Amino acid sequence: MRVDLAASYGEERLPRYTSYPTAPHFSAAIGAKTYAGWLAQLPAGASASLYLHVPFCREMCWYCGCHTQIVRRDELIAAYQRTLRSEIALVADTIGRRIKVEHIHFGGGTPTIMAPEAFAELVAEMRRAFFVLPSAEIAVEIDPRTLTADMVEALRLSGVNRASLGVQSFDPVVQRAINRVQSFEQTASVVEMLRRAGINGINFDLIYGLPHQTVASCLDTVRRSLLLAPDRFSVFGYAHVPEFKKHQRMINEGVLPDGLARHDQACAIANALKEAGYVQIGLDHFARPDDSMAVAFKDRTLRRNFQGYTTDQGEVLLGFGASAIGHLPQGYVQNEVQIGAYAEGITAGCLATAKGYGLTDDDRLRADIIERIMCEFGADLGDICARHGAEPEAMLKSASRLKPLISDGVVRLDGDRLAVAKDSRFLVRSVAAAFDAHLDPGKQLHSRAV
């Protein structure tokens, strides 16, 4: 990886392209009525993935960029669970038939903050409303500091087969600076409990660019993590956006690593994981060679959605809960962000859609190009454009941001085939952004490119 390119491009604020167009371009023009129409129009034989957002935590991690709030009263969590069940039934009724489900993902917040019996009831409601395939992946995000043995049993009985554990860093200095003190022993105990319960798909989330973080502390976290042998790692750069996330103001900006230090940390983590035998997948994921995600990467069937990289091949993602985003063939929908407004709509028997985006033919073309760049570090523009009835020459002409990337050796063009140079793959978001017709570089809406 080239330091000169990190200095040139690393400070750009760019999307992570978990969707295209990205969420800042959603508008209130797409509401509950539109979403209901889209659901009713789902083609026969369509399969779906489900995302359930649980926006509660026991305490705030100061680095957090998620829609969540601190809650002490379990009654609020129980009421929210009941609202989720109502929304599931409402969406299923609007579709009008019991469609197949291949993936379920619980995100947050802390999904395991629910009472174990409430979690089990929620999964049972999904199984009633939809045909959850026996082979379906059911994944849950977990805070190892709060997971109980009773919840692990509920996860097992509910068919959960993948768990994503937030680790971030094992450095106690970094942990205190981000208000997330979590020992290695706590994490190891949770991994052992999950595996004893037969939940063998284990993911770890790590973050670089945190306050006081160094290359040495990043490598120590990797070394400790490898002792627990997770199947996958997600490695994200901390996005410091205190103008949008006020709790991030608790972080001292003076001890945040600069762009070059972040670059060095990302490189060090990636190299250590690859040396340990993990396959690097796209921008920020790593997996064991026999893991389904590594196989999808090799077979060029890897996809990207709001959870990051995925093996999910479906074209329908149904989002449930406050702020949850769904993706249908017609476009994107997002629920009310505020829990009260979300619950009010569902309780009244209405879909809670607050905004969304209706896709154009040009959006679909660019989304395909961007997804292949993000997943494969390249794209066959001729093939993609042919499938959309477009000309690659016109697409390249519209991508003015591509020219300096080609001049700097970040991108190679061989006819209509685009490839990101191996030593420049950390700039894949910059390459994807060249095809983003909606990007406004003047608005600081996203995290740094490196």
CATH number reported for the structural domain that contains residue 392 in this entry:
1.10.10.920
Inform me whether the pLDDT recorded for 446 exceeds 80.
Answer: no
pLDDT for the residue numbered 445: 53
Handedness of CA 442, 446, 448, 449 (dihedral sign): negative
The pLDDT-based confidence of 7 (bands split at 50, 70, 90) is confident
State the average pLDDT over residues 184-191.
Answer: 98
Give rounded-to-5 percent helix, strand, coil for the chain.
40, 20, 35
Residue 336 falls inside a structural domain = no
pLDDT tier at 8, thresholds 50, 70, 90: confident
Residue 448 is predicted with a pLDDT of 59
Dihedral (Cα; 345, 350, 352, 355), 10-degree rounding: -120
| Residue 45 in domain | yes
Q: What pLDDT, on a 0 to 100 scale, did the predictor assign at position 67?
A: 86
Residues 6+ apart with CB under 8 A from 235: 206, 207, 208, 266, 269, 270, 273, 284, 285, 286
Q: 2-11, 121-130, 307-316 — which is least confidently predicted?
A: 2-11
pLDDT of 241: 87
- The yes-or-no verdict on residue 323 having pLDDT over 90 is yes
How far apart are the C-alpha atoms of 149 and 155, rounded to whole Å?
10
Clarify whether residues 84 and 141 are in a common domain: yes
pLDDT higher than 70, residue 449? no
Q: Same domain for 275 and 198?
A: yes
> Between the CA of residue 265 and those of 13, 183, 227, what are the distances in Å?
19, 21, 20
Q: Supply the range of the domain harboring residue 98.
A: 25-320
Establish if 337 belongs to a structural domain: no
Mean pLDDT on 108-136? 97
Residue 408 lies in a domain: yes
Is 160 in the same domain as 83?
A: yes
Q: Do 118 and 211 belong to one domain? A: yes
- Of 289, 320, 351, the last residue of a domain is 320
Average confidence (pLDDT) over 208-219: 97
Interval 392-418: pLDDT, tens: 999 999 998 999 999 999 999 999 999
Do 394 and 245 have their domain in common? no
Domain count, the chain: 2
Is residue 215 over pLDDT 60?
Answer: yes
Same domain, 75 and 51: yes
Q: What is the CATH number of the domain that holds 297?
A: 3.80.30.20
Range name among 69-73, 259-263, 296-300, 445-449 with the lowest pLDDT average? 445-449
Average pLDDT over residues 150-175: 98
At 65, the pLDDT band (50, 70, 90 cuts) reads confident
Does residue 339 belong to any structural domain of this protein? no
Residue 355 lies in a domain: no
**Over pLDDT 90: what percentage of the chain?**
87
Domain boundary among 288, 320, 352: 320
Could you tell me if 295 and 386 lie in one domain? no
pLDDT at 313 over 60: yes
Q: Please indicate, yes or no, whether residues 42 and 120 belong to a single structural domain of this protein.
A: yes
Structure tokens at 373: 């760049």
pTM value?
A: 0.93
pLDDT of residue 426: 87
Residue 450 has pLDDT above 80, yes or no: no
Is residue 418 in a domain? Answer: yes
* pLDDT in the model for residue 10: 66
pLDDT tier, 133 (very low <50, low <70, confident <90, very high otherwise): very high
Task: Give CA separation, 110 vs 113, 119, 208, 416, in Å.
Answer: 6, 12, 21, 44
Tell me, what's the pLDDT at 438? 93
Same domain, 82 and 8: no
Are 139 and 203 found together in one domain? yes
Same domain, 13 and 29: no
Query: Are 161 and 278 in the same domain?
Result: yes
Assess if residue 327 is contained within a domain. no
Least confident range from 23-37, 170-184, 245-259: namely: 245-259
Q: Last residue of some domain: 266, 290, 320?
A: 320
pLDDT of residue 447: 58
pLDDT, position 228: 98
- Supply angle C-alpha 388, 389, 394, rounded to 5: 100
